[in-house]
Chains A and B, each alone.
Chain A
Amino acid sequence: MSDTAQLVVEGLRASVEGKEILNGVDLVVPAGEIHALMGPNGSGKSTLAYTLMGHPSYAVTGGSASFAGTDLLPLAADERARLGVFLCFQYPTSIPGVSVVNFLRAALKAQGREMPAREFLRTLSAVMRELNIDESFRSRYINDGFSGGEKKRMEILQLALLRPRLAILDETDSGLDVDALRTVAEGVGKVAGPDMGLLVITHYPRILEYLRPDVVHVLHRGRVVVSGGHDLARRIESDGYDPILGAGTAGTAARNETKGAL
Chain B
Amino acid sequence: MATQLQTPGAIGPEAVTTRVESACAWLAARRRAAWEAYTALPMPDRTNEDYRRTDVSALRPDEFVADPGETGHGAGLLATLREMRERIAPEAAFVAATRNGVRACEGTDPLLAQGVLVSSLEEAAERDEEAVRRALAHVPVDGSKFTSLWNALWRGGVFVHVPAGIEARVPVIAAYSAAGEQAAVFPATVVVLEANASLTLVELQVSPAAQGTMLSDSVTVLHLGEGARLDYCLLQRWSAATWHLATHRAVLERDSRLRFFAATFGSRLQKAYWDALLEGPGADATLTGVCFGGGDQHLDHQSLQAHMAPSTHSDLLLKVAVRDRAQSVYGGLISVDRVAQKTDGYVQNRNLMLSRGAKASGIPMLEIQANDVRCSHGVTAGHIDDDQRFYAHSRGIEPEAADRMIVRGFMQDALDRCPHEGFAEFVGGVLDEVVAGHSAAGVEAEAPA
Interface residues of A (CB under 8 A from B): 53-57, 76-78, 81-82, 86-87, 89, 92-98, 102-103, 106-107, 110-111, 141, 158, 162
Contacts and interface: CB of A to CB of B under 8 A. Distances in A.
A141 B388 CA distance: 13
Given A95-B405, A95-B406, A98-B405, 19 more contacts: A53-B394, A54-B393, A57-B386, A76-B399, A77-B393, A78-B393, A78-B398, A81-B393, A81-B396, A93-B385, A93-B391, A94-B388, A96-B413, A98-B409, A103-B392, A103-B405, A106-B397, A110-B398, A141-B412
A106 B405 contact: yes
A-B complex: 7 closest residue pairs judged by Cβ atoms: A97-B409, A97-B412, A81-B396, A107-B395, A98-B409, A77-B393, A93-B391
Interface in B284-298: none
Contact of B396 (A78, A92, A93, A96): A78
B401 interface: yes
Nearest to A83: B396
B316 interface: no
B295 to A, nearest CB: 24
A102 B397 CA distance: 12
A220 to B, nearest CB: 26
Nearest to A77: B393
Interface string B69-88: 00000000000000000000
Given A77-B390, A78-B402, A110 B395 contact: yes
Nearest to B407: A97
B408 A81 contact: no
A106 B393 CA distance: 11
Interface residues of B, number: 24
B411 interface: yes
Contacts of B399: 76, 78
B387 interface: yes
Interface of B: 385-388, 390-399, 401-402, 405-406, 408-413
Interface of B is mostly: helix
A110 B391 CA distance: 14
Contact of A95 (B386, B391, B398, B401): B391
A78 B397 contact: yes
Contacts of B394: 53-54, 77-78, 81, 86-87, 89
Contact of A162 (B390, B395, B410): B395
A96 B391 contact: no
Contacts of A89: 391, 394
A81 B408 CA distance: 23
Contacts of B386: 56-57
Contacts of B401: 106, 110
Contacts of A76: 393, 399
Contacts of A94: 388
B408 A93 contact: no
Contact of B390 (A82, A93, A98, A107): A93
Contacts of B406: 95, 98
A77 B155 CA distance: 58
A146 B398 CA distance: 25
A111 B397 CA distance: 8
Contacts of B387: 93
